[in-house]
Structure 1
């Protein structure tokens, strides 16, 4: 382990050394677990452009010898759902081309300086709320004559959440319809480079793998799940159109990607990351007690529910170093401008995925051989950088981490040993 590279740097960093020690500590329990011949699952979070790391991590698993035919179940929301859909349909290489060619440097998909634009709109809303407060205070004082003039003045400055984040007057910060366009048809640019490949619904539906995609019901705030198979607690995806609607909905980030998406006649939905950020089981901060879900793998108290499944959990952040303040700061900015307490509550919960308590639970499960936890330990990956260099770097980082990882190699050896010898 010490002689092999598991990061995307020329030398080992302190974080990579700690990661290596963690992986080494997991090996004995994983060896014992593999003797039970569990089914293999892949579980991944979203993370916008951090999905490039996820894409690379899946590629690294394939390079290590863990391929589509060896996987029974995949689960992931938001940015990860597309990569998983192409993986399930046997089109992983085509999905890779969409990331590296279609989404990279695509200004239709992601506004330049997206994070600055988002914060600017928050500021405009705060200022407009201030103008509205002044108007409310002075209207009774200045009298009828001046009121109409004051109304004309403030109408030009009061902007609502709908004005700033959902209207056509302001372009979407993240335009998911552009992603769905690349999923919907074969697209080659003027230089002959493939940018889009139609996702094959028949292959998706008939795959030996089950895919589970979380979304958030925009009306109720509750999590819901869609799948390519009849799966307890999930809605079956029955058509190409419905498949694309589900993929669009789970990527539609509130306040950044426009209005929620209709999925058939079921209603309006948006980003699955804010409903079930890491769909491995019952999240300790998200209530799921009243729902019987066939894909749930881990209970709220960290106990395994399905011992027949071994989840490989891939996280594009350092799972040994939670940064609660950084993660929650985005939540506070979003929650503060949401009018609905229900929506704010679910956003707040969805961002708590990487708290120290939750990560400690995942680490303990990994050391007991209940899950396989593989994570990014290099330089932070930006959620909102879709430059070609950033996507390529994220992809290479994820690929090297899983391809050279002792845990994925151990699983690969186990899979090979089960195959009949010719």
Structure 2
């Protein structure tokens, strides 16, 4: 990477390559190459796929402003969109992820149909059920052999079961949807593998929606059948919404559970604060700090400028790509003093782990609640929990668009 600041007039050799690889020496932090981008200011050009030079936004204030700016488009197919995987190798590999890839007003129209399910009040009503799930899966893990893989024993099945019940997806199909979801978010899967995985999930959800049209239940997909029958929503749109929620509802939370657990095992004093407290506010603050510190959406949120935008002394021209690096915004020292220090007592609620603006993660109340249940329950139930491998032997997801762990062997 060049040490010369990447100004708008900079030549191609001055522009740093993106994305820089993560470092195995510091697996919980943004890579040195990523951190170096902040030296160029809150916005800088980067060199990405096919010689494109999108803007990388590193500053917290600039990201907050741009994430709420309607002059930026989220549409994946728009010219100039900075794809997280090489567009030269994505032919036939596109995916329909419902409103996450739409601009308003269509985005808002579809999002409103499910927003009521994710209100804090409704999610809090699920907390006792999630607590029972956590205890049941921990019971099973304790009764089984040691060492155990925390990913397969706890981190993956709990959010999978939660989102299955919420959507009305049979949990017995979890191996099918977990495998296909993992393929969709893989950074190394072939275009055909990603396309096949998406087709598998879309076909599965379409068939499930079809069954619920005749035999509705008390779940989110059944609720969407009313919009299908009234003509507000097509069956295909409902299935695409199901794919989005099923994938996002378990893949991201599972990674936060395992990655956060490993991080806390490296910081026993911080872990003890979570384990020993009876104060829900302490746990809430701890979860927010873990979300800030880990920032598992680790390759940025991507947009395309619809108009010229002046910000931080730069001009983003219409048609140019923008990559908003939440992992750097969440370590902006002007917002989070000593940002590289894990401190679960700090007020980290200004983090952007869930994005911001109209496209902020709709499932964030659910993810927060699950993490608030899981971390203290796990450490209280298994106070001697420990990883059996050193960090350099643990398989981190360097090969995925959502950061986390492939496995976490533990014992007690």
Length-normalised TM-score, structure 2: 0.29
Give the structure with higher Rg (CA). 1
Higher strand share: 1
**Which of the pair has the greater relative contact order for Cα pairs under 8 Å at 6+ separation?**
1
TM-score by length of 1: 0.28
